[in-house]
Amino acid sequence: MKEYSTDKIHNVAIVGHSGAGKTAIAEAALYATKVITRMGKTEEGNTVSDFHEEEHRRSISISSSLIPVEWEGYKINFIDTPGYADFVGEVMAALKAVDCALVVVDSVAGVEVGTEIAWQYLDELNLPRMVVINKMDRDNANWTRVMGELREAFPDTRFAPLQLPIGKADAFKGIYRLNTGTTSLGPEGKPGEAPAEILAEADDYREALVEAAAESDDALMMKYFDEGDLTPDEVREGLLAGGRKNAYVPVLFTAATDCIGIHALLGSIKLLAPSPAESVSRTAIDKRSNETVELVTEDGGPLVLRIFKTQADPYVGKLQYLRVISGSFQADSRVLNVNHNEEERVGPLYVLRGKEQITVGHLHAGDIGAVAKLHHSQTGDTLADKEHPFELRPFVYPQPLYSVAVVPSSQADGAKLGQALHKIVEEDPTLQSHFEDATHELILSGMGNAHIDVAVHHLEEKYGVHVHTATPRIPYRETVTRKASAQYRHKKQTGGAGQFAEVHLRLEPLESGSGFEYASEVFGGAISSQFISSIEKGVRQMLQEGVIAHCPVVDVRAVVYDGKEHPVDSKDIAFQIAGREAFKKAMQDAGPTLLEPILNVRVIVPNSQMGDVLGDLNTRRGMVQGTEQIAGKAVVSAHVPLAEMQRYSTDLRSMTQGRGYYTAEFSHFAPVPQQLMPGIIAQVQKVAEEEH
């Protein structure tokens, strides 16, 4: 591959709903630029972009992949991203590495939930974008209806078609460029005559395009008012300025599986997409002075790199994708991981094309490549030279929504499980794993059932660790609702040295989140000071075991207020036992109750489905905190018990036909309703007895 300077590079993410044809567009771009001689298909598992076994098995993209192509003196780094909602972390990371996005929309399905989610992320990053209405060769393809859906879904956006499609359904054969009046026909994008019916309607669409171009520049607007038209070069100038300010969104048409419209798409990217030097500037923190610095994307600037993806490669080990934010990145060099203040030794640099690794000597500012075998670095980290330790803002990923308990299939699998889990979480930061002390389970959390299923297959295929999964148990807590006192005398005589301890203990409820407090009100030497701490040891044993359901005890204050000891038989173990038993007796009289974790849930659905969501949350014991309207969507905020939300991601998709999504995070613990406690206690006790 040739070497390209910063002004000849375009970094473009391909985003949209699953099945819209994102991977097909990347494949067609490779075919149009003669990198490949035959186009693969997602369903056949032979595309350059989808090279993981899981992608072949599922016939969908589950991981973002880099697809660079060369077009008329420019290098276009496409990042093909997954469209399925479970793999949104891949999309979020990819968007941090690009300067522009193609939002791919199916010509029949129109605007779908994946379109809306991608659009939301693009708005948050203020990234320029183009809409590609794909699959124009399908029966029932209707681009004017899709345009209407786009305007309805994103009412604050001005959409301007740059082209008109020539032919419908299986007769779709190319596009007509409104600005230049030229055509691009067939898989080779050859020029030809425009049909009369296209010319008849082209004037109105071109006028709208000229208006969009004029409104982006005051001088062009004045000329348009004076003369009523602009030259093609002036229109191109206005479109370029307007697109980068998101004043309008260009709309293009393709049938990617037949490579129709792809040449015109590549030409539009070359002309209208910003280069890294023209993109939104990035800021960083100077770790020496803690001041904010603005980074300019140029070779002469300080070296600053961002790792946006980590991938386990079977041959080179850990492979990390990175974007050169500033400076020129040389192979066989040393850089500083600013996040961990660790030096990294860099070996060869790679330009990736799917799984193909092309070795290069260096990367110019703004380019995207990969390195292998960094020891201290992970996704989201900033690499820089030692003289300029600039740190970019960290990635912020959504909280996981779906969890499973992971159980190794054998003792050998158990020995390898911890390290394997660490590796897959390092590859995908939207996965999280932790050991839940309350239930003694190893929990793996992700964005949905498919996400977890892929992670489990990775454990087996990449690391040879076989596991089975189950719905996690709820990490309940125990607490008290009123004050209560109890006393317990421990006396043991076995013929030799005896054991004696008497403890008088009072329990008091504390505010939620207070944890545990221990105090002594013993005066006059009734219990020696060393045995006061022995009593605390016994009490703390019960905090972990619980009294009514083997759950941890929280938000309680234990006070030792009296007791007795024996000058010979009193020992540490005796007071531990007495303290433990006194705690159990006092808690039984202190109105013990169970606490359950409550989530703060935010559900976003179409307005027409808000009633269904409210009704469903009510059946889940949800407490609605409020509703609002944002960008034509209904947003419901509620507090819902975790026990009712474990499989909500699947249920919500079914209820809303995939158009609803939600976020959830832990809020607080709250008492379990009295009518539910007997059943929960019986269930928890049964599991605890089976484990013991």
Query: What gap in Å lies between CA 184 and CA 262, rounded to an integer?
Result: 9
Structure confidence at residue 437 (pLDDT): 86
CA dihedral 473, 474, 478, 481 (to 10 degrees): -150
DSSP annotation of 60: S
Structure confidence at residue 225 (pLDDT): 87
Residue 190 structure tokens: 């050859």
Q: Please choose, from the candidates 182, 181, 194, 179, the residue with its C-alpha nearest in 3D space to the C-alpha of residue 230.
A: 179
pLDDT score of 229 more than 90: no
Establish if 58 belongs to a structural domain: yes
CATH of the domain at 525: 3.30.230.10
Is residue 150 helix, strand or coil? helix
Residue 548 structure tokens: 């009514």
Query: What gap in Å lies between CA 169 and CA 558, rounded to an integer?
Result: 76
Q: In what order do the strands lie in the sheet with 9-16?
A: 65-71, 74-80, 9-16, 100-106, 129-134, 249-253, 159-161
Domain termination site, one of 334, 363, 392: 392
Query: What gap in Å lies between CA 684 and CA 688, rounded to an integer?
Result: 6
Enumerate residues 6+ apart whose C-beta is below 8 A from 385: 302, 303, 327, 335, 336
**59 with 71: CB under 8 angstroms?**
no
Q: pLDDT-based confidence at 316, cuts 50/70/90?
A: low
CA neighbours closer than 13 Å in the CB half-sphere of residue 133: 34
**Residue located via tokens 């935010």:** 602
Structure confidence at residue 496 (pLDDT): 67
Element (H, E) at 76: strand 74-80
Q: pLDDT-based confidence at 182, cuts 50/70/90?
A: very high
Q: Per-residue pLDDT tens for 660-684?
A: 888 899 999 999 999 999 998 888 8
pLDDT score of 368 more than 70: yes
Query: What gap in Å lies between CA 334 and CA 385, rounded to an integer?
Result: 8
Establish if 210 belongs to a structural domain: no
Query: What gap in Å lies between CA 622 and CA 645, rounded to an integer?
Result: 10
CA 363 to mean position of chain CA atoms: 28
**Residue located via tokens 């941090």:** 96
Enumerate residues 6+ apart whose C-beta is below 8 A from 646: 402, 403, 471, 472
**Residue located via tokens 């269904």:** 612
The letter for the amino acid at 670 is: A
Q: Per-residue pLDDT tens for 422-453?
A: 889 988 889 999 999 888 899 999 998 999 99
Query: What gap in Å lies between CA 365 and CA 487, rounded to an integer?
Result: 74
Residue 159 and residue 51 share a domain = yes
Overall average pLDDT of the 64-73 stretch? 96
Residue 664 structure tokens: 């959830």
CATH of the domain at 411: 3.30.70.870
Q: Domain residues for 464? A: 402-473
The pair phi, psi for residue 86, each rounded to 5°, is -65, -25
Q: Please choose, from the candidates 476, 472, 442, 473, the residue with its C-alpha nearest in 3D space to the C-alpha of residue 552.
A: 476
pLDDT score of 202 more than 70: yes
Establish if 209 belongs to a structural domain: no
Query: What gap in Å lies between CA 278 and CA 558, rounded to an integer?
Result: 65
pLDDT score of 133 more than 90: yes
Longest dimension (CA), the chain: 115
Residue 547 and residue 464 share a domain = no
Q: Please choose, from the candidates 179, 281, 279, the residue with its C-alpha nearest in 3D space to the C-alpha of residue 239.
A: 179
Query: What gap in Å lies between CA 254 and CA 256, rounded to an integer?
Result: 6
Structure confidence at residue 409 (pLDDT): 94
CATH of the domain at 100: 3.40.50.300
144-166: buried (b, 16+ CB within 10 Å) or exposed (e) per residue?
A: eebbebbeebbeebebbbbbbbb
Residue 128 and residue 268 share a domain = yes
Is residue 588 helix, strand or coil? helix
Q: Which residues pair with 601 in a beta bridge?
A: 638, 664
**59 with 462: CB under 8 angstroms?**
no
Calculate the alpha carbon distances from 621 to 170, 535, 645 in Å.
Answer: 52, 40, 10
Establish if 133 belongs to a structural domain: yes
Residue 264 and residue 346 share a domain = no
The letter for the amino acid at 211 is: E
CATH of the domain at 367: 2.40.30.10
pLDDT score of 382 more than 80: yes
**Residue located via tokens 């490949």:** 36
Q: Per-residue pLDDT tens for 318-334?
A: 899 999 999 999 999 99
pLDDT score of 313 more than 70: no
Overall average pLDDT of the 412-416 stretch? 92
Overall average pLDDT of the 137-157 stretch? 94
Query: What gap in Å lies between CA 299 and CA 635, rounded to an integer?
Result: 45
Overall average pLDDT of the 603-615 stretch? 91
Query: What gap in Å lies between CA 147 and CA 165, rounded to an integer?
Result: 13
Structure confidence at residue 560 (pLDDT): 96
Radius of gyration of the chain (CA): 32
Residue 455 and residue 310 share a domain = no
pLDDT score of 546 more than 80: yes
Question: Helix %, strand %, coil % for the chain, to 5?
Answer: 35, 35, 35
Q: Per-residue pLDDT tens for 496-505?
A: 678 999 999 9
Count of CB atoms situated within 10 Å of the CB of 291: 9
Residue 582 and residue 469 share a domain = no
Enumerate residues 6+ apart whose C-beta is below 8 A from 347: 331, 332, 371, 372, 373
Q: Which residues pair with 291 in a beta bridge?
A: 286
Residue 49 and residue 177 share a domain = yes
Structure confidence at residue 315 (pLDDT): 67
pLDDT score of 655 more than 70: yes
pLDDT score of 620 more than 90: yes
DSSP string, 80-136: E---SGGGHHHHHHHHTT-SEEEEEEETTTBS-HHHHHHHHHHHHHT--EEEEEE-T
The letter for the amino acid at 662 is: Y
**543 with 515: CB under 8 angstroms?**
no
Domain termination site, one of 567, 591, 615: 591
Domain count, the chain: 5
Enumerate residues 6+ apart whose C-beta is below 8 A from 382: 284, 304, 305, 306, 307, 337, 338, 339, 390, 391, 392
Q: Are strands 9-16 and 100-106 parallel, antiparallel or unpaired?
A: parallel
Establish if 174 belongs to a structural domain: yes
Establish if 238 belongs to a structural domain: no
CATH of the domain at 665: 3.30.70.240
Overall average pLDDT of the 55-61 stretch? 83
Average per-residue pLDDT in the chain? 92
Q: Please choose, from the candidates 136, 141, 144, 102, the residue with its C-alpha nearest in 3D space to the C-alpha of residue 119.
A: 102
Residue 306 and residue 326 share a domain = yes
Residue 294 and residue 164 share a domain = no
Domain termination site, one of 473, 492, 526: 473
Residue 35 and residue 182 share a domain = yes
Structure confidence at residue 92 (pLDDT): 93
Residue 180 and residue 41 share a domain = yes
Establish if 123 belongs to a structural domain: yes
Q: pLDDT-based confidence at 495, cuts 50/70/90?
A: low
Q: pLDDT-based confidence at 399, cuts 50/70/90?
A: confident
Q: Per-residue pLDDT tens for 518-539?
A: 999 998 888 998 899 999 999 9
Q: Please choose, from the candidates 395, 491, 403, 500, the residue with its C-alpha nearest in 3D space to the C-alpha of residue 455.
A: 403
Q: Per-residue pLDDT tens for 10-47?
A: 999 999 999 999 999 999 999 999 999 999 988 888 99
Q: Please choose, from the candidates 606, 576, 563, the residue with its C-alpha nearest in 3D space to the C-alpha of residue 499.
A: 576
Where is average pLDDT lowest: 22-31, 575-584, 630-639? 630-639
Residue 405 structure tokens: 């308990």
Establish if 244 belongs to a structural domain: no
Residue 139 structure tokens: 């029966």
Q: Please choose, from the candidates 331, 318, 324, the residue with its C-alpha nearest in 3D space to the C-alpha of residue 375.
A: 318
pLDDT score of 688 more than 80: no
pLDDT score of 615 more than 70: yes
Structure confidence at residue 99 (pLDDT): 95
Q: E strands of 467-576, at which residues?
A: 467-470, 477-479, 484-492, 499-509, 516-520, 556-564
Residue 75 and residue 159 share a domain = yes
